[in-house]
Amino acid sequence: MTLRRLLLVAVFSAAALVAPAAPAQAAPVSPDAAASAALAARGTTIVAAARAQRGKPYKYGSRGPTAFDCSGLTGFAYAKAHVTLPRTAQAQYRTAKKITAAAARPGDLVFWVSGSHAYHVAVYAGAGQVWHAPKPGDRVKLAKIWNWKQVKFGRIPA
């Protein structure tokens, strides 16, 4: 065998070793992973919708778009994610699936509850903060969660 022929055999043999394999098939996505991704995307939409209302005034009974009360803000934000919520904080509390604080994700609801009555609701923003329409004379804003003893978390089923 000539030197040239040996070199050609060596080059083609090396090329065969580094040639790309057939494309791998994408691993199937589990239903739980798909649901989790959808929930995260919905939460991002809800938080963005609440954040976009920053600075708008509180007005009792108002559902936006120029002013909000607490449940009006949560209902408005959820509507941007194509989810309809009941009108009041108490009705939203009854509708929500109760979850632990550790399980809460951005876009979930945060309720302030006395006894069995929810008197305030907000959109969970993550990191212990909420977007809410606090009270008359105030405006929609981001705030740290206060009075943890009365706080309950809820998730609206998809």
Give the catalytic positions in this structure: 70, 120, 132
* Rg (alpha carbons) of the chain, rounded to whole number: 26
CA dihedral 83, 87, 91, 93 (to 10 degrees): 60
- For residues 142 and 50, the answer to whether their CB atoms sit within 8 Å is no
**CA nearest to 106, candidates 117, 93, 95, 122:** 122
CA–CA separation, 77 and 79 (whole Å): 5
DSSP structure string for 77-117: HHHHTT----SSHHHHHHHSEEE-TTT--TT-EEEEEETTE
Residue with tokens 């876009």: 107
